[in-house]
Every structure is written in structure tokens, then in C-alpha cells.
Structure 1
């Protein structure tokens, strides 16, 4: 009997599985090798490449005061500057541009002349890696401006004709009902006449107004109530004369306190600097605006910010009004000499017989601007927040404690009056804040 071998032995099965796995491993390695090589090549930074995220931080900290990416400012636009100059030349220029200009470098002299011969600040502290990061940021493709979304079509707007048709049908039905009622009334009257039924008309009664006029007591009470009500409203109206609380005029240039004092955190006394040393807080000079807006030609706020009430185009157009007023050409970065005065509309205005000194309240008393002017950091359009009446000022003097800590101006008088009144804290009223001569002279 012929002996047949066992084709399903364990050793043969293991050998077959090993061969099969090696075959798949080799084929997978051959396919994955090019992909891995490509990924490695993509991951490996090219010579002179940098990190655009770090570059943005460095750009904002060192370059943004004089440069923009896509518009000329004090210096040229820097989008794609890495493609315009050799990298080694850029290292030298950023480290010390003045030295390159003095050396007679043609590209440096030309760039210096094209930018109104404004010397660029030297940045020797920036390493070549830092400059590579900045170049990576400036080499990013400019974002495509979002197209305004099409206005959504109101639901049911296409059914205007059907709505008009329904209304017309309702009017027609109402007209038919009126005609039917008139015909029914005539028919009933005709039937009554044919049957000898007499339709009696209602006897005219005494008019309500005549009855009221004959009642002397009601007339007296009514006249008395009308006189009292008239006196009440007349008094209220007269007391509002000269009180302009919530007065909010439209200014020739829209200025958002919400953005400047709120979002950007600009101190009130930076613009209204005279409030610290003068009776008046003063209208800020447009030159104060240009301290910042010389390099801020367009609104770049977040469209989803709580501080934005209008569109980017609206705010940018208002900045252009400022440039027109001072005669600034943002393209050439020069003053044209042609100016247009801005006719600001005054909001807060005390009577001529009232004396009020800003410096006494701001510098001496340490009163915050918001105490009188309200939360201006939340105002998109400035308004008169308080009534600024005599009673309002007196109440403030009665309720506000005088800040003596660190204020030698009040030290001696505070100690004397504190003993006199037997209190530890003195209000402005305790220190003569209710005397007529304090505010009227």
C-alpha cells in the first residue's frame, strides 16, 4: 500500500503563512517608501524657511509700527518682500540699514530714496532665525476677501400676489355682506308697511354733554383736576429747560468711544490731557489722533467683536475723513498742506454763571471720568450721561468722601474738620462743598 504524505502538516502551513506575509510586507514597503519620502521632504524645512506663527508675533512687536503687509505706511508693504531681495541682503538690511546706505549699496540707497529718506530702525537683536520667521509670515498668500452673503429671501416673499388676492376676496365678501344687510333692512320695512305695522322711531334723549354742563359740581371738579394736571406738567416742562441729559448729536467724524476706550483701553486723559491741569477738558487735537492713525488707515477689528457696531468699510471711511481734515496722504505718507476744519458739536455745556474746574476734580480729588460722564467705554456715540443740574452736583458733594490718603492738600483741614464734626470721613459738603461761592461767582 502506497504511503501518501500529510499535505496539511503544521510545518508546511507555517511556512506558507510566512511566505505570504513576506510578500505583502515587501509590496507594502515598496508602495509606502515614495509616500514616506514625500512626507519627509514636505516636513523638512527648506533652507532659510521659518515659522510664520512666530514670525507674526515678531512682526507685530517690531515691524507693525512702520509697515503693513499689503499697503504702504511709513515703510513699504512687506507682503512678498522675501522674493524681492536676497536673503543675505535682508539680514544685513534689518540688522543695520544705515550702514548699508552709507556704504553706497545700490538697492539700499534706492529703497531709502523711495520711502522719503526715512531711516529704518536697526534691529541687531534679531537673529537670522527670527528674520527667517518674519519672512515666512510676510510670504504667506494674502487672504481672499469674503464676498458679502446674499440677502436671504424672506419666507413667503414669492406669495405676495396670493396675499393680495386673498385680501381682495375678503374685501369683496365684506362689501357683499353690507349690501345684503341694506337689502334685508329695506325688505323688512316693506313687509312691515304692507302688513300695517308702524315702526316707531326712538325719541331723542337729552345729550350727555348737556347733562354734564348742567351739573355744576362735576364741572367744578373737572376744572380743578385740569388745572392741577396742567400745573404739574408745566412745572415738569420748565424744570427740563437747560437739562440736556442723553443729548447725543451726530458728529462730523464718527468717533467710537466703545472701540477706543473700551476695546483698545485708551485712557481718557491721553486724548483729553488738559483735564488734568485746566478748567476745561478740551477737544483733542487731530494731531493726537494722528499719533496712532498715521499708521492705521483702515479698521482691522474683529467683525464678531462686541465693540463693532458698524462695518469695516464704515469705520475705514471715517478714518479717511480724519486724513482729509489734517491733509494726510496715506499713499505718499506726506502732509499735503490742505486742511479742512472739523466742526465738532458740543455735548456738555454748563451755564456761564457756573464755575467748574476739571483739574480740581480729576487731579486733586481723584474723581474718575466715569463718575460724571458715565461708562464712556460702552458708548458707540458719545452722549451727556448725567443731568448736570445743581441738585445733581450737590448730591454728589453730600455723598462723596474726600480722598485724604496720600493727598497732603487736605491733610490739615481734614484733621480740624474731623474733630469739629466728630467723624472719620469727610464729604465734600463738610469741607465747604455746599457754599454758593464755590460754584457761583
Structure 2
């Protein structure tokens, strides 16, 4: 009797424990709705997912609206995001169906993602699902305001200057013609000796051109202009502003970064964690072009070059555009990940460029000027707390990069 009682009690205890565990598990899997989680999720989505997915539109992968209801479970989503290949290889029916439906394209594995990162992404997707579909990429190209030119462009000024010189020469020729005609007219009149002396003055264009003063002025102007040209040439050594070489594949940033809003960090993977932003590998291109074979202005032939390079297991020989001398040290991660500098700050409106060009000077003076003008991004970074305190004790202005050693030679030079 006591044994049966204890057995029944254990069953009840196990049932209650299981119920509590399931309830706690369900609660822990609830998608967050806090604005901070949604904002963090959007940032992760834009940097990692947006190249292949949209919330309300099928792209390389499926539309993600309501994915948390369609998928087998939240835990399944976490496993699939972290290692989709393993889930497919396990024979999971839902994963295999997705794999076959999307042309057997394997999703990039994000093994570095924490569970909270994935939950934040789901929070963003849920928020966008509730808002409903808006304007989708491809329906209308996004217009991004680029830097506006101030004043009259240099080309127009040059044309205007040449035009003024031509007009001046014409006026001199007309004036010389009028003087010559006037002299011939006056020679036919009865003039006094004084009047003849004025008309036939020894100061002529020929005497002026052969005078020492005129020769000195001309020589000085020619020498000054030549010296200025030499100085300008020396200052332009190593400066490639506007350099836009022809690439082996006609890749358009205007389509990828502009129209389809693919985040720069998705392709240039080193920008958040290393000195170099890195050039995208063929594998990154094939994440999308396993399925996208046409539909871009570059044409089928350009995409075929990517596929050919992938099949032959060889890199695409992209021509480097932005080069710094070996004696200069620049770290992308420090500027992008820590300082929060946008790519367009240095590289210009890349999202508007069919052919990428060097937008900025990238000279020492250009960097120093930026360090003198830029406020240090100290928000949420305890590393700067003491520095901010010391700076505020001595100055009322914002703390600039130069205030924390941004102009020290050893910061950029080995």
C-alpha cells in the first residue's frame, strides 16, 4: 500500500516537474519584443542575412515573414542558422525540402551566433511581419543622396577661363586692326609735325615685344607657371583620387549595395575584425549566384565568369583600387567596429557607383584633418570613461580623436 502510494506520488511529481519544465522552456523561447532587441536584430539581419533574404519577399532564400510559425521549432531555427549543412545531413524532412526547393543551395553557417543573437533577429522579423510588406527592392531603386558639389565645377571654370582668353585675343586683334586703319586714314590728312609724331610713335607692338622689361615679365610668368606645375606634380605623387580601373568582372555596386541594399560587411568580411576589409572570395559570390543566373544589367556573361572561376577553383583577379603605402598603418576594425565610421565616409557613395572609384585623397593630411574634426565615439564603451572624465575637466568641447593621441606619429607609422 505504502509502495503504491510512493509510486503514485513520484508519478505526480514527475508530471508536475515536466509541466514546469515545458512551461519554462516555452517561456524562454518567447521572441523578445523590446525595441533594443529589435534594433540589435535589424543590425545583425542587415549585416548577415539581407544578402539572401527579405522579410516579405523571396530572394535567394525564402521570405522570412512568420518563419517562427512555419519552422518546426525555435530550437530548430537556431540549429539551422548555426549549421544548416548538419541539419540537412541528419535527414530532417523540413530542412531537406528547403534544400531541394532552393536548388540545393546551402545556407551560410553562422556558428559564431549566440542564441540571443538569433532571438534578436527573430524579434526584428516578427516586428516587420506585423508591420506588413512595404516597397520591395527591385520595384523602385532607392535613391541615396551623395555628396553635393559646392560652387561652380572646375571644368566649367576652365572653359570659362579659356573663353575669356579667346575673347581677349580677339579684342587685341580688332584693336590692332583699328589702330592700323586709323593711321592710314590720318596719313592722308595734312598733319603738323607734332601730330605726325603722335601718329607715328616709336612705341609699337614690335618695340614692346623686344624690350627687356617685356621679356623679363614673360620669362617670369612662364617660370612661375612651370614651377607651380612641378610642385603640383610632386604633391600628386601617390594620389589616385578618381582611380577607377577596369575589373575582370563588371560588378556593379549600384545594383548590389544600392538597389538590393546588400550590406558592405557581408562581402567584405574582414572589416569588423581585422586590419584589411578583404576582397570577397568566389564562395561569397556563389552564395547568391547559385540561384541568380540572370536579371542584372551586367548580363549573363559576367555571372558565367563567376561560375567558371568557382568550378575551376581559382580566385577572381580583382584589381585593387585603394592603396596605402607600406609605411602607413590603418585598421578597418578600429574605425568601423569601435568608432562606428560608415563606409561612405571614406569610400564615398559606393551604392551609386557602377564602377567603383577612389573617392577620397587618402593622404596623410586628409587623415589628420579627419582626426582633428571627428568626435570620439565613447557611448557604451567603458574604455573611454576615464579619458572623458579627464577631458571634461580641462575642456568644455567634445573629445576629438586628436585629444587621445590621434596625431601621434607612432599611431599610424611603424
Give the aligned partner of residue 9 of structure 1. Answer: none
Change (3 A) 1:223 1:403: same
Give the aligned partner of residue 368 of structure 1. Answer: 342
Matched, 1:290 2:274: no
Give the aligned partner of residue 23 of structure 2. Answer: none
Matched, 1:317 2:301: yes
Give the aligned partner of residue 207 of structure 2. Answer: 211
Matched, 1:437 2:410: yes
Q: CA RMSD in A?
A: 3.2
Give the aligned partner of residue 353 of structure 2. Answer: 379
2:321 alignment partner, one of 335, 347, 356: 347
Change (3 A) 1:259 1:285: same
Change (3 A) 1:353 1:209: farther
Q: Within 1, Cα distance between the matches of 2:61 and 2:406?
A: 47
Change (3 A) 1:237 1:289: same
Matched, 1:280 2:264: no
What is the count of residue pairs matched by the alignment?
232
2:256 alignment partner, one of 251, 254, 260: 260
Tell which has more relative contact order, 1 or 2 (C-alpha 8 A, sep 6+). 2
List alignment gaps of at least 5 residues for structure 2.
1-55, 63-90, 107-201
Q: Within 2, Cα distance between the matches of 1:97 and 1:407?
A: 43
Residues 177-232 of structure 1: CA distance to partner in whole angstroms, max 9, x if unpaired? xxxxxxxxxxxxxxxxxxxxxxxxxxxxx9x8863564111111111111111111
Equivalent position SS for 2:299: helix
Given that 1:65 and 1:295 are in contact with CA atoms closer than 8 Å, whether structure 2 keeps it comes out as no
Which deviates more from structure 2 when the two are superposed, residues 349-358 or residues 407-416? 407-416
Equivalent position SS for 1:246: coil
Give the aligned partner of residue 399 of structure 2. Answer: 426
Change (3 A) 1:62 1:229: closer
Given that 1:248 and 1:383 are in contact with CA atoms closer than 8 Å, whether structure 2 keeps it comes out as yes
Q: Within 2, Cα distance between the matches of 1:393 and 1:241?
A: 17
Change (3 A) 1:212 1:340: farther
Larger CA Rg, structure 1 vs 2 = 1
Q: Within 1, Cα distance between the matches of 2:244 and 2:58?
A: 40
TM-aligned CA deviation for residue 296 of structure 1 = 0.8
Change (3 A) 1:426 1:63: closer
Q: Within 2, Cα distance between the matches of 1:221 and 1:243?
A: 34
Q: Within 2, Cα distance between the matches of 1:426 and 1:65?
A: 45
TM-aligned CA deviation for residue 233 of structure 1 = 1.5
Give the aligned partner of residue 397 of structure 1. Answer: 371
Residues 405-430 of structure 1: CA distance to partner in whole angstroms, max 9, x if unpaired? 1122222112112223x124111111
Matches within 5 A, 1:4-23: none
Q: TM-score, normalised by structure 1?
A: 0.48
Equivalent position SS for 2:216: helix
Give the aligned partner of residue 128 of structure 1. Answer: none
Given that 2:60 and 2:292 are in contact with CA atoms closer than 8 Å, whether structure 1 keeps it comes out as no
Q: Within 1, Cα distance between the matches of 2:408 and 2:93?
A: 65
Q: Within 2, Cα distance between the matches of 1:318 and 1:266?
A: 19
Equivalent position SS for 2:405: helix
Q: TM-score, normalised by structure 2?
A: 0.51
Change (3 A) 1:437 1:62: closer
Q: Within 1, Cα distance between the matches of 2:374 and 2:271?
A: 20
Equivalent position SS for 1:433: coil
Given that 2:282 and 2:316 are in contact with CA atoms closer than 8 Å, whether structure 1 keeps it comes out as no
Given that 1:245 and 1:384 are in contact with CA atoms closer than 8 Å, whether structure 2 keeps it comes out as yes
Q: Within 1, Cα distance between the matches of 2:221 and 2:228?
A: 11
Give the aligned partner of residue 244 of structure 2. Answer: 248
Residues 360-390 of structure 1: CA distance to partner in whole angstroms, max 9, x if unpaired? 1011111111110011111111111001011
Given that 2:371 and 2:401 are in contact with CA atoms closer than 8 Å, whether structure 1 keeps it comes out as yes
Change (3 A) 1:400 1:271: same
List alignment gaps of at least 5 residues for structure 1.
1-59, 67-95, 102-107, 119-205, 302-309, 328-337
Residues 58-100 of structure 1: CA distance to partner in whole angstroms, max 9, x if unpaired? xx9679748xxxxxxxxxxxxxxxxxxxxxxxxxxxxx9959x
